[in-house]
Amino acid sequence: MTTQPLPTYFVSHGGGPWPYMDGEFRRRFDELEGSLVRMRAELDNMPKAVLVVSGHWEKEAFTLSSAARPGMEYDYYGFPPHLYEIAYRSPGSPALAERAAGLLAARGLPTDLDPQRGFDHGTFSIMKPLYPEEDVPLVQVSLHASFDPALHIAAGKALAPLRDEGVLIIGSGLSYHNLQAMQTGAGHEPSRQFDAWLRETVLDTPPHERERRLVQWTGAPSARAVHPREDHLLPLMVVAGAAGTEPASLSYHQSDFFGGLSVSSFRFGEPPLEGNNL
């Protein structure tokens, strides 16, 4: 059994409760689903637990869901009624929530526990394809409401020891998130420009320079056209911080997402040695 730390991942999580749907809308996420299936395969053995930084949760402190049996947060609108009755039933982990909160607090970062918070679609939309058995302990982490990228990188660095403890850290967001422009088609070219910058930053830039570029992300081409609010980009900062100086690779890329958007997901670090047989 290797003692290699688990990699971290930034996942562009798609739209709404897509794994629970069928038909044309569901098919738009086939490539994303394939990347999640590959992700599970390369991780080989099941992680002891999963910590998801969700772009759908903002608090005044880094807050962790601490219920033993979390409920659901139906944080989407306009879908058929049955999609407001679905449930992802993985157990929570109060012990992991307290451990993560302790790591954050030890670095002087504001933190809190929330025993009421359920799984939002930033979490269950990726966990359903990744672990459909719903048996892996799962804890959510909120964003800090300041949206300070350096603070989120610092949070990732604080949480990094969890990688050595069998905890899989995932940042769940979307590398493109401008819903209004998505609906009109105006986002296609800005998404290509920003995605090219993001891939260059994450994949081809030395780690310390990578961190500087991520902190200064608003200077990227079409940055605010792609992220009017950075809630869906900040989970990337956390997992990059947790990865430290480890290199990254592209785990998912689609240039025709919703008719022409460019979106990407990334892995930081290498998968367990037992999983390098793909």
Q: Encode the chain in three state secondary structure.
A: CCCCCCCEEEEECCCCCHHHCCHHHHHCCHHHHHHHHHHHHHHCCCCCEEEEEEEEEEECCEEEECCCCCCECCCCCCCCHHHHCCCCCCCCCHHHHHHHHHHHHHCCCCEEEECCCCECHHHHHHHHHHCCCCCCCEEEEEEECCCCHHHHHHHHHHHHHHHHHCEEEEEEECCCCCHHHHHHCCCHHHHHHHHHHHHHHHHHCCHHHHHHHHHCHHHCCCHHHHCCCHHHCHHHHHHHHHHCCCCEEEEEEEEEECCCEEEEEEEECCCCHHHCCC
For residue 272, the model assigns a pLDDT of 84
- Please report the pLDDT score of residue 273 as a whole number: 61
What does the pLDDT read at residue 175? 98
Q: Which residues of the chain have pLDDT under 50?
A: 1-2, 274-278
Q: What global pTM score does this model have? A: 0.96
pLDDT at 180: 85
pLDDT recorded at residue 82: 96
Structural domains present in the chain: 8-275 (3.40.830.10)
Distance CA 45, CA 275 (A): 8
